[in-house]
Structure 1
Amino acid sequence: MKPIIEKYKDSVIQIATPFSVGTGFYLSNKNIIVTNEHVIRNNKAVVVEGNGINRSLLPVIYIDSKYDLAFIKGPGHRAEMEIELGDSDKVLEGNSVVAAGHPFGLKFTATQGIVSNTRHIQDDINYIQHDAALNPGNSGGPLINDNAEVIGVNTFILRDGHSLGFALPSNVLKKTLDDFLKEKESLAVRCSSCLNIIYEKFQKDTYCPNCGAVVKFISSIEEYHASGIRRSLEDILRQNQIDVELCRRGPYNWEVIEGTAKILLSYHEESGMIVAESILARLPKEKILPIYNWLMQQNFELRGLSLGINKNNIMLTAIMYDQFLKPEYASIILKDLFQKANEYDELIIRQFGALPNEL
């Protein structure tokens, strides 16, 4: 399993939109990131990030609701990130597989399992059924065989199905890629009625030229505009020179990188609580008391922020509530948190020997 993890850790991509987070994988030789349609739904561009790809906003170039597939334009060919598509027709029940992805929006994770059914039919589509653990956020990630080849795209799970996952076979993906790439530099969608791929550059209206069905093209997708408390929070982020489009992580979460520190901003709709927290460095194994003394001293001086420890992580946190939210005050608090997160992270590593966390 370790060689597979090493090979795929740079090619498995985290995808984020204003509505959800998910996974994709980068086919460098085609300069395409593959994922599920439901991951990028209602977005003409999405945020992608991975070990081999810096966080960036990239355009969606193909949407396929029939097979729950979507393609995102890649960042440019990179030979060191080559991965291969295997032959899904050769998959047998009992074969070992690895599912790779970013569950819950976390960093790269891989789980192992076996194929339990090679012909699970749902909505007239054949899926590979397996028991490698999948969680929300894994959608769109690769299912990998022992030869380190992609044999499927993880698409859905049964919530009460004891870790039953289902992957679209790689041969379906291969054919879709071949059909899509017949035309260069054109956005495309698959017609949900006749199932033909329709290229936007040839269309003068919103109807399928083959069957006449209404088709929703990528260019017709409306830009996302936050509303309510989300708009207020995003306005506050913009006041602090934060690129809001790049830091969205679903409807109520934002992630900001400030120097060596990562700041997570979350809104909890039921409680009305707004939490901004930065995971700083980790406690060292020795000489911890000076850090505790420093934390207490800083907390005595801080206003609107507090330092603490969660497990072995040193945290800097601000808590506010929507009904009492004053944008001017919140902007000052967040600006202070962004500045101090980076400052404190470097200080406790340098001065107290704390251990850096990976971003």
Structure 2
Amino acid sequence: MVQDIIGQFHPAIIQIATQTGTGTGFYVKEYDVIVTNDHVVQDNAEVTIAGKSFDKTLARVWYTDRKHDLAFLQSPANVEIPAIRLGTYEALKDGDEVVAIGHPYGFNYSATQGVISKVDRIRDGLKFIQIDAAINPGNSGGPLVNTSGEVIGVNSFKIQGGDNLGFALPVNYLRQALQLYAPHRGISSTRCHSCDYLVLPENIDSEKYCPACGTEVKLPKMPEQEVVPTGVAKTIEDILKELGKDIKLARDGVNRWEVREGSAKIKITYNAENFFVVGDAYLCQLPQDALKIKPLYQFLLQENYRTNNLVLSCQNQNIVLSCIMYDLDITKEGGVKVFDNLFKKADFYDDLLKNEYGCLDRIEE
């Protein structure tokens, strides 16, 4: 039963990334929006999204709600995503089985099973569903689902240091927010965290105050000038831009980027604590024919003597082409040469290893 629920929800689960982090969302077809947490989008008016049925793309943030920790994003165009049902909060009982679905710590489409510890835990004047199913960084914004395959909450937060003390916003709050937003779909809006009034561009007072109570609010408005990172992160983005990559789509969280070159996927990470930048190009997988593995290993070792600043290795079943640079040494000019070489060789080796050694296409989530 749980497996059926997970399979049903996978196409509707959305990966979300910003410059400052990652999270989860889910598509609600009835309102044609992607639902997530407000703290996932973090004041960004545009975020990167990806799903089972579409490649990574940019999505506009249309609605934010700090009090209920909700945000609604524009859904991808010309993509068919199956409908999922919203459940009824009033029908929930302590002890009911639930499943939390999301992308914790980058492990995509993970599901954790548990039970409702308390249906109506009060926190900051709101009711939350307390669950013992693990909610971890990256899970935020994903759906909490009952055994009937209905969304009964939005995974929101956990108690730091607590043992599986997770909390989800009940679906009745979500339904209220969706109904409030629906007549203004496609318009930048925010819900006042003091009086719950829906603030729109047409009614906002002096461009920053709620017209009902005077509380300072902020609409999800596209900045006039793009906010760019500084230091090594800026240098990396300058390099990627020089190589023709879309920076906004490449961003994959804090000091992380992901790009494609041909059939290869390249992940770039800046480890500020250890002062180095790593580029890992994930190529194909080891062949099923055992007789081809030994000559393949010999080829990889031989190529490591020939490649300049690049290393071929095996990580589990994956063949990976990597480069490493220390942050004090990296410059735009030097980085362009290193990454250009990595990108070109990644695409080259991916094709060669499949054609010459029977390597398999890499399995992707």
Please indicate the TM-score interval, normalised by the length of the shorter structure. over 0.9
Aligned position for 1:266: 269
Q: What are the within-5 Å matches in structure 2 for residues 195-344 of structure 1?
A: 195-203=196-204, 205=206, 206-219=208-221, 223-285=226-288, 286-287=290-291, 288-344=293-349
**Aligned-residue RMSD, C-alpha:** 1.6
1:310 to partner: Cα distance: 2.0
Q: What are the within-5 Å matches in structure 2 for residues 121-200 of structure 1?
A: 121-200=122-201
| Unmatched runs of 5 consecutive residues or more in structure 2 | none
Per-residue CA shift, 1:67-118, capped at 9, x if unaligned?
A: 1000001124766511111112211111111111111233221121111111
**Residues 61 and 72, structure 1, Cα contact 8 Å, conserved in 2:** yes
SS, match of residue 140 in structure 2: coil
SS, match of residue 201 in structure 1: coil
Kindly provide the amino acid, as one letter, of the partner of residue 25 in structure 1.
F
Aligned position for 2:56: 55
| Separation in structure 2 between the aligned mates of residue 95 and residue 349 of structure 1, nearest angstrom | 49
**Residues 48 and 58, structure 1, Cα contact 8 Å, conserved in 2:** yes
Kindly provide the amino acid, as one letter, of the partner of residue 301 in structure 1.
R
1:284 to partner: Cα distance: 3.1
For these two proteins, the number of residue pairs brought into alignment is 359
1:152 to partner: Cα distance: 0.4
TM-score, L = length of structure 2: 0.94
User: Structure 1 184/33 Cα, relative in aligned 2: closer, same or farther at 3 Å?
Assistant: closer
SS, match of residue 43 in structure 2: coil
Specify which of 334, 342, 351 is matched with residue 346 of structure 1: 351
Kindly provide the amino acid, as one letter, of the partner of residue 90 in structure 1.
A
1:257 to partner: Cα distance: 1.9
| Separation in structure 2 between the aligned mates of residue 235 and residue 74 of structure 1, nearest angstrom | 29
| Separation in structure 2 between the aligned mates of residue 352 and residue 138 of structure 1, nearest angstrom | 39
Per-residue CA shift, 1:278-297, capped at 9, x if unaligned?
A: 12222235131111111011
| Separation in structure 2 between the aligned mates of residue 184 and residue 42 of structure 1, nearest angstrom | 19
1:184 to partner: Cα distance: 4.0
Greater Cα shift, 18-27 or 77-86? 77-86
1:11 to partner: Cα distance: 0.5
Aligned position for 1:6: 7
**Residues 12 and 108, structure 1, Cα contact 8 Å, conserved in 2:** yes
Greater Cα shift, 253-262 or 276-285? 276-285
TM-score, L = length of structure 1: 0.96
1:254 to partner: Cα distance: 0.3
| Separation in structure 1 between the aligned mates of residue 78 and residue 250 of structure 2, nearest angstrom | 25
User: Structure 1 35/143 Cα, relative in aligned 2: closer, same or farther at 3 Å?
Assistant: same
1:5 to partner: Cα distance: 1.7
Per-residue CA shift, 1:266-309, capped at 9, x if unaligned?
A: 00111111000112222235131111111011111100111012
Kindly provide the amino acid, as one letter, of the partner of residue 35 in structure 1.
T
| Separation in structure 2 between the aligned mates of residue 79 and residue 272 of structure 1, nearest angstrom | 43
**Residues 61 and 186, structure 1, Cα contact 8 Å, conserved in 2:** yes
| Separation in structure 1 between the aligned mates of residue 52 and residue 303 of structure 2, nearest angstrom | 34
| Separation in structure 2 between the aligned mates of residue 257 and residue 78 of structure 1, nearest angstrom | 21
| Separation in structure 1 between the aligned mates of residue 164 and residue 260 of structure 2, nearest angstrom | 33
Per-residue CA shift, 1:158-213, capped at 9, x if unaligned?
A: 23221221100011100111011133432111112222111223335222111112
| Separation in structure 1 between the aligned mates of residue 134 and residue 214 of structure 2, nearest angstrom | 42
**Residues 53 and 80, structure 2, Cα contact 8 Å, conserved in 1:** no
User: Structure 1 238/328 Cα, relative in aligned 2: closer, same or farther at 3 Å?
Assistant: same
| Separation in structure 2 between the aligned mates of residue 343 and residue 107 of structure 1, nearest angstrom | 28
Kindly provide the amino acid, as one letter, of the partner of residue 216 in structure 1.
K
**Residues 45 and 60, structure 1, Cα contact 8 Å, conserved in 2:** yes
Kindly provide the amino acid, as one letter, of the partner of residue 63 in structure 1.
T
Kindly provide the amino acid, as one letter, of the partner of residue 68 in structure 1.
D
Kindly provide the amino acid, as one letter, of the partner of residue 159 in structure 2.
L
Percent of pairs with identical residues: 39
Kindly provide the amino acid, as one letter, of the partner of residue 17 in structure 2.
A
